[in-house]
Amino acid sequence: MDPSTSSAVTLRVNGEKYTLTVDHRTTLLDALRERLDLTGTKKGCDQGQCGACTVLLDGRRAVACLQLAVAAEGREITTIEGVADGDRLHPVQQAFLELDGYQCGYCTPGQICSALAVIEEHAAGWPSAATEDVRPEAGVPALTADEIRERMSGNLCRCGAYAQIVQAVARAAEDVGNTVGEPKEAVA
């Protein structure tokens, strides 16, 4: 590679360090899939609109197709391959499995990574556009179906498994100790 348009970067992915030389224009998505063979993160729209490539950067969700690999250096990257604890599924993965929160499965890795962030954001008290009372003294809002839908709105599912996804996120939030409101009507 041309040294003026490439750099050596060290990426911390799923607890391991990888050093690669990448073109400055290489997205994190392409580095993960093509250079590190971590193909669980899916390439959907390649425009940041579908959420199929969602990963966690320092615990916060990011669409990997819009993140440059060189800009991810020094950050902790978690892909779907790093979510489970060995053979033991994370509660979000378990809930998706038990409640059929997937159909074809293409969007599932991004949905799961987003759900992990949603649960953490909610537990930290972050409001969403669906939060009725955003004043700090109001406390953490109930994680209702409306809250889950709003918080997961950056992830599209072409199969339409939204009702099951909402239920899976609600159950996973309960399993990791959050207060969850009962999911309301199913998502159409």
Cβ contacts of residue 81 below 8 Å, gap of 6+? 14, 38, 40
pLDDT value of residue 180 = 41
pLDDT value of residue 88 = 96
Pick from 104, 128, 134, 103: nearest CA to 114: 128
Q: How confident is the model at residue 176 (pLDDT cuts 50, 70, 90)?
A: confident
CA distance 63 to 153: 13
Check: CB of residue 9 under 8 Å from CB of residue 73.
Answer: yes
Q: CA 72 from chain center: how many Å?
A: 16
pLDDT value of residue 185 = 41
Task: Spell out a b/e string for 71-92, using b for 16 or more CB atoms within 10 Å of the CB, else e.
Answer: ebbebebbbbbbbeeeeebbbb
pLDDT value of residue 119 = 97
User: Dihedral, CA atoms, 69, 80, 104, 186, nearest 10 degrees?
Assistant: -110
pLDDT value of residue 4 = 86
- Average pLDDT over the chain reads 92
User: Does pLDDT of 86 surpass 70?
Assistant: yes
CA distance 148 to 163: 11
What are 34-72's pLDDT values in tens digits? Answer: 999 999 999 999 999 999 999 999 999 999 999 999 999
Mean pLDDT of 5-16: 97
pLDDT value of residue 132 = 93
CA distance 73 to 76: 8
pLDDT value of residue 117 = 97
pLDDT value of residue 82 = 98
Q: What tokens does 74 get?
A: 């020094």
pLDDT value of residue 187 = 37
Pick from 110, 12, 24: nearest CA to 67: 24
User: Does pLDDT of 91 surpass 50?
Assistant: yes
In this prediction the pTM is 0.89
Amino acid at 142: A
What are 104-150's pLDDT values in tens digits? Answer: 999 999 999 999 999 999 999 999 999 999 998 888 889 999 999 99
CA distance 184 to 150: 13
Residue found by looking up tokens 């971590």 in the block: 38
